[in-house]
């Protein structure tokens, strides 16, 4: 099918250089809007190019890595599709901002109402009463020091036509699907195998947010993508959210851990974020994490390979 294609793979430098041209981006956009392969002449008509010779040159540069050329015509390959999707996810008229808004959603630590704001492609979530999860991130202009409950990525398209409460539910659902993939070791952006590691605060405060590490939990998980710029850092539960026993524990209590209803989000968060940890050994790593809901508990013991080696209900 792709016998005529010159190069199926490009280096990152070559791929970026290939995209640095208006005609080529117009070609990708036109192919993205088509729902079937497009012939050369139909594509030329749809793209506002001056002459077919120049158009042919630019189209040829895209064929292989971004565009497939078959007997039926031209169509986007996965890389071309991702470029169009990435552009459209951020393509809104103004950079949307949601000022801090109080929601009728309880903090999963203390039950007080939460507040959310949206800027710079993410929802920031704060408790109005307790110290929250950890110290607020650097580089956030309106971040207070206390009450930070975490951030959820959401492209600007996710804000369009939604209230603050609806934006929050959309961000939770969207981010959670990424977390599930990443807990399975798969980069949610490019599908490469993630490099996973764990770190332990060895002088961790027993209660609340630790002065030394700035987190509520001593065991922190990091997943880095060796292929793209995606990385993930947070409490170790991020590595456990796709574990069968934890998924079953939640569903057995009527909680949908994948896409909970608006009213159930705080209950799922409470299980995921308000858990006990018992670090048995730092080197080699071994720790036990105990989740609870309605008086029922699930303890998962994790070893140095970050595998669950024991589960107790
Ligand atoms: Zn709180
Ligand atoms: Zn600490
Ligand atoms: Zn990646």
- Residue pointed to by tokens 């630019």: 58
Q: What is d(CA 282, CA 204) in angstroms, rounded to the nearest whole number?
A: 13
Same domain, 32 and 113: no
What's the 130 CA to ligand 2 centre distance in angstroms?
18
- Ion ligand 1: protein residues whose beta carbon lies under 5 Å: 107, 109-110, 112, 127, 130
Q: Which ligand is nearest to the CA of 213?
A: 2
Q: Which ligand is nearest to the CA of 188?
A: 3
What's the 276 CA to ligand 3 centre distance in angstroms?
31
Higher pLDDT, 172 or 134: 172
Same domain, 106 and 81: no
Which pLDDT tens digit goes with each residue over 97-114?
A: 889 999 999 998 899 999
Same domain, 83 and 102: no
Q: Is residue 6 part of a domain?
A: no
What's the 282 CA to ligand 2 centre distance in angstroms?
13
- Ordered DSSP codes for 78-119: HHHHHHHHHHHHH--SS---EEEEEEEEE-TTT-PEEEEEEE
Q: Is residue 5 part of a domain?
A: no
Same domain, 190 and 230: yes
Q: Is residue 239 part of a domain?
A: yes
Higher pLDDT, 302 or 135: 302
What's the 158 CA to ligand 1 centre distance in angstroms?
26
Count of domains forming the chain: 2
Structure token pair of residue 273: 């974020």
Q: How many CB atoms lie within 10 A of CB 176?
A: 19
On the question of pLDDT at 45 being above 60, the answer is yes
pLDDT at position 276 is 96
Q: Which long-range contacts (CB under 8 A, 24 or more apart) does 143-147 make?
A: none
Q: Is residue 7 part of a domain?
A: no
Q: Is residue 1 part of a domain?
A: no
What's the 200 CA to ligand 2 centre distance in angstroms?
8
Same domain, 84 and 103: no
Q: What is the CATH number of the domain that holds 17?
A: 1.10.10.10
Model confidence, pTM: 0.80
Same domain, 213 and 83: no
Cβ neighbors of 58 (< 8 A, separation 6 or more) are 21, 23, 24, 27, 49
What's the 178 CA to ligand 3 centre distance in angstroms?
11
Structure token pair of residue 124: 């920031």
Same domain, 79 and 207: no
What's the 78 CA to ligand 3 centre distance in angstroms?
14
Of 90, 118, 140, the residue that ends a domain is 90
Same domain, 122 and 181: yes
Q: Which ligand is nearest to the CA of 12?
A: 3
What's the 240 CA to ligand 1 centre distance in angstroms?
23
Same domain, 61 and 158: no
What's the 56 CA to ligand 1 centre distance in angstroms?
59
Helical (H) or strand (E) element with 55: helix 52-62
- Geometric angle at alpha carbon 251, from 248 and 257, rounded to 5°: 95
Q: Which long-range contacts (CB under 8 A, 24 or more apart) does 183-187 make?
A: 183/238, 183/239, 183/240, 183/241, 183/242, 183/243, 184/242, 185/223, 187/225, 187/227, 187/228, 187/230
Q: What is d(CA 226, CA 235) in angstroms, rounded to the nearest whole number?
A: 21
Which pLDDT tens digit goes with each residue over 229-238?
A: 899 999 999 9
pLDDT at position 299 is 98
Of 55, 70, 90, the residue that ends a domain is 90
pLDDT at position 4 is 45
Residue 3: pLDDT band with limits 50, 70, 90:
very low
Same domain, 19 and 141: no
Of 43, 66, 90, the residue that ends a domain is 90
pLDDT at position 211 is 86
Burial class (CB in 10 A: 0-12, 13-18, 19+), 193: exposed
Using DSSP's 3-state secondary structure scheme, residue 221 falls into strand
Q: Which ligand is nearest to the CA of 110?
A: 1
On the question of pLDDT at 74 being above 90, the answer is yes
Using DSSP's 3-state secondary structure scheme, residue 301 falls into strand
Q: What is d(CA 192, CA 228) in angstroms, rounded to the nearest whole number?
A: 8
Residue 178: pLDDT band with limits 50, 70, 90:
very high
Residue 55: pLDDT band with limits 50, 70, 90:
very high
Same domain, 51 and 182: no
Same domain, 37 and 116: no
What's the 166 CA to ligand 1 centre distance in angstroms?
21
What's the 206 CA to ligand 2 centre distance in angstroms?
9
Q: Is residue 307 part of a domain?
A: yes
What's the 279 CA to ligand 2 centre distance in angstroms?
12
CA 119 to chain centre: 16
What's the 4 CA to ligand 1 centre distance in angstroms?
60
Produce one character per residue of 138-165: b if its CB has 16 or more CB atoms within 10 Å, e if not: eeeeebeeebbbbbbebbbebbeebebe
On the question of pLDDT at 136 being above 80, the answer is no
On the question of pLDDT at 95 being above 80, the answer is no
Q: Which ligand is nearest to the CA of 113?
A: 1
Q: What is d(CA 91, CA 80) in angstroms, rounded to the nearest whole number?
A: 16
Q: What is d(CA 150, CA 271) in angstroms, rounded to the nearest whole number?
A: 15
Cβ neighbors of 37 (< 8 A, separation 6 or more) are 70, 72, 73, 74, 75
Q: Which ligand is nearest to the CA of 227?
A: 3
Q: Is residue 233 part of a domain?
A: yes
pLDDT at position 132 is 84
Structural domain that includes position 111: 98-312
């Amino acid at each position: 099918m792709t016998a005529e294609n010159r190069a199926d793979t490009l280096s990152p430098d070559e791929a970026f250089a290939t995209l640095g041209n208006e005609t080529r981006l117009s070609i990708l956009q036109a192919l993205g809007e088509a729902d079937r392969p497009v012939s050369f002449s139909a594509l030329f008509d749809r793209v506002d190019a001056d002459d077919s010779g120049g158009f042919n040159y630019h189209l040829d540069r895209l064929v292989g890595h971004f565009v497939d050329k078959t007997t039926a015509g031209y169509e986007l390959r996965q890389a071309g599709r991702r470029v169009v999707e990435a552009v459209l996810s951020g393509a809104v008229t103004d950079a949307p901002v949601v000022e801090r808004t109080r929601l009728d959603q309880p903090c999963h630590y203390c039950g007080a109402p939460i507040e959310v704001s949206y800027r710079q492609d993410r929802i920031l979530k704060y408790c109005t009463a307790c110290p929250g999860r950890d110290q607020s991130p650097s580089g956030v202009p309106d971040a207070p020091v206390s009450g930070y409950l975490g951030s959820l990525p959401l492209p600007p398209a996710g804000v369009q036509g939604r209230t603050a409460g609806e934006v929050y539910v959309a961000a939770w659902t969207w981010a959670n699907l990424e977390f599930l993939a990443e807990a399975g070791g798969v980069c949610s952006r490019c599908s490469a195998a993630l490099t996973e590691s764990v770190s332990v605060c060895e002088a961790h405060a027993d209660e609340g947010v630790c002065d030394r590490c700035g987190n509520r939990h001593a065991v922190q998980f990091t997943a880095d993508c060796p292929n793209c710029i995606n990385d993930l850092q947070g409490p170790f539960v991020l590595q456990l959210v796709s574990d069968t026993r934890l998924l079953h524990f939640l569903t057995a209590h009527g909680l949908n851990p994948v896409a909970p209803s608006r009213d159930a989000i705080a209950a799922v968060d409470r299980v995921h974020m308000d858990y006990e940890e018992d670090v048995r050994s730092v080197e080699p790593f071994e720790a036990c994490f105990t989740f609870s809901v309605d008086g029922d508990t699930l303890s998962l013991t994790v070893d140095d390979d970050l595998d669950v080696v024991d589960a107790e209900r």
